[in-house]
Structure 1
Amino acid sequence: MKFDIHTHHYRCGHADGNIRDYIESAISSGLQVIGISDHTPYFASQENQAFPLISMGKSELRNYVEEVLQLQQEYAGTIDVLLGIESDYFPDHAELYRQTLSKYPFDYIIGSVHQVYDVSIFNKNRWKKFTPEQHISVKKEYYRLIQASAKSGGFQILGHLDAMKGNYPPFSDIPAVEIIDETMQVIAECGVAIEINTSGKTKLSGGWYPSDSMLERALYYGVDVTFGSDAHKPSRVGDELSEVSTKLREIGFKEWVYYKQQKKVIVPLT
């Protein structure tokens, strides 16, 4: 069973192609399941589309849902098309997001932390002139937010756990080992899955999110894992799926999961 639960399309303003393009790419790549999971609108703003190069407008959310559901019916019997969405986790607006998204029949919601102290995690300039103590403080706050997102109950999957290394590879070497173990333990207790996200290759860090060492800790604590290419162009659908599967088996995982109608589907790693 081959699947990819993390894909985007033109509505977010920074991806290429329409939803059908991603589905057709998934079929060509031999996938049986494709999840469409574009970025949520920024619900906390009065503007319809507060960040047009980051996320869709609020007025597009219903159109997005209806299009995925229509394509789900059209491709039934050929490939299983899942309705997902990637939601930012903002503590101050978590309830607004939960209430708004609960109105739609999402198969799953990916919760992702994209900002720490109101600065993008991919902004490499944030690290300039930081002391070692400040580096540790930011890293710990990032993982505290991830823990809070797991505890929120709003997500089935947590996105790209160590993506803060994306444009600042030294992030991985900031000494804060205890916060990683604490985070994995919280995620396990909350019954939320984490994705192995192969989009790190498009950033300075290269590689996947999270690192192999974090996946080893995930296995130790019994955290479920899933796969997402985080494709922003159709050609990346399913990117490095087989390599990820092989690595997970080497680490010791026996299975991975995806969600349909917010229920876990277990897939043996073969």
Structure 2
Amino acid sequence: MKFDLHTHHQRCGHAIGTIEDYVKQAIQYDLQYIGISDHSPYFYSDEDHLFPTIAMQKSEFIPYIEEVLRLKKKYEDKIHVLLGVESDFFPKHIDLYRNQYINQPFDYIIGSVHYVSDVNIFKKGRWEGLSSAEQRGVKEEYYSLIEHSAKSGLFQILGHIDAMKGFYPAFSEIQTDVIDNTLKIIGQQDVAIEINTSGSTKDCGGWYPADDILERALFHDVSVTFGSDAHTPERICDDFEQVQTRLKEIGYREWVYFVEKKPVKTSL
């Protein structure tokens, strides 16, 4: 079974191609399932398009859903098109976001922490001048937010759970027990984490999360899924087979995808 649950398109302002471009590319790559999961709008803002190069505008949210559903129908004899969204996790706005999603026919929602202390996790230079204790505090706040996102009940998948290393590879070396505690909670909440192969496009290289985190995730019975986080159609399913192989080496025997918010297990 070949699938990819994490893809973006031109609505978010930093990806290339239409949704249909991704569907057609997925068919060409012989996928059985392609998930469309563009960045949700900043619903808490009074502005329609708060950050045009980061996420879609609020007025495009329903047209986005309608387009995916139309393409689901159009290509149903060739591929399963899944309706998803990558949602920011803002604890103080969680009910607002929940109300935006609750009546929509999503197959899954990816919950991603992109902001810690109101600063984007990918902002270059955010680590400059911090002491070891301050760095540890930032990392622990990051994973505390991921824990809360797992407990929220809003998400089926948690996105790129060590992505803060993207432009700061030394993030992985900051010593703290918080990751293991977070994985234990994720396992208890029965939420999946993704193996996200877009780390190869950042300074850190490799995937999110790193192998040591995947090993501990297996120990805590955390389900895993796959997402390329493609921002161009050509990156769909990037490193899919390599991820399969590595997961088997670690000890996984299955992973999941989601249809109508229900996990579907499939062998590696």
TM-score (norm 2): 0.99
1:88 corresponds to = 88
* Structure 1 residue 204: Cα displacement: 0.4
The 2-side partners of 1:164 and 1:225 are apart by 19
In structure 1, what is the equivalent of residue 233 of structure 2? 234
Deviation of 1:124 (Å): 2.5
1:244 aligns to what? 243
2:251 & 2:24 partners in 1: Cα distance? 32
Deviation at residue 103 of structure 1 after TM alignment:
2.2
Residue in structure 1 matched with residue 103 of structure 2 by the alignment:
103
CA distance in 2, matches of 1:29, 1:134: 45
Q: Could you tell me which residue of structure 2 aligns to residue 206 of structure 1?
A: 205
Which residue in the other structure is 2:220 paired with? 221
Correspondence 1:114-193 to 2 at 5 A: 114-176=114-176, 178-193=177-192
Q: After TM superposition, what 4+ stretches of structure 1 lie above 6 angstroms from structure 2?
A: none
Letter in 2 for 1:65: I
Instruction: Give the partner amino acid of 1:201.
Output: S
Question: Structure 2: how far apart are the matches of 1:128 and 1:214?
Answer: 25
Superposed CA RMSD in Å reads 0.5
Output the CA distance in 2 between the equivalents of 1:102 and 1:10: 25
Distance 1:25 1:237 in 2: 8
- Letter aligned with residue 218 of structure 2: L
Distance apart, 1:101 and its partner CA: 1.0
Amino acid at match of 2:213: M
Equivalent residue pairs, number = 268
**Secondary structure in 1 matching 2:237:** coil
Q: For 1:261 and 1:29, locate their aligned partners in 2 and report how far apart those are by CA, in whole Å.
A: 24
Q: Percent identity?
A: 59
Matches of 2:103 and 2:44, distance apart in 1: 17
The residue type equivalent to 1:75 in the other structure is: Y
Residues 148-180 of structure 1 deviation map (CA, whole Å, 9 limit, x = unaligned): 00000000000000000000000000011x111
Return 5+ residue gaps in structure 1 as ranges. none
Q: Distance in 1 between matches of 2:109 and 2:93?
A: 16
Question: Any unmatched runs of 5+ in structure 2?
Answer: none
Which position in structure 2 is the counterpart of 1:56?
A: 56
Structure 2 CA distance for aligned equivalents of residues 111 and 171 of structure 1: 21
**What is the rounded CA distance, in whole Å, between the counterparts of 1:90 and 1:199 in structure 2?**
23
Aligned to 1:66: 66
Question: For residues 65 and 161 of structure 2, what CA distance do their matches in structure 1 show?
Answer: 26
Q: Secondary structure at 2:143's aligned position in 1?
A: helix
Distance 1:30 1:219 in 2: 29
Partner of residue 263, structure 1: 262
- In the alignment, residue 243 of structure 1 is paired with which amino acid? Q
The corresponding residue for 1:19 is 19
Alignment TM-score, normalising by the size of structure 1: 0.99
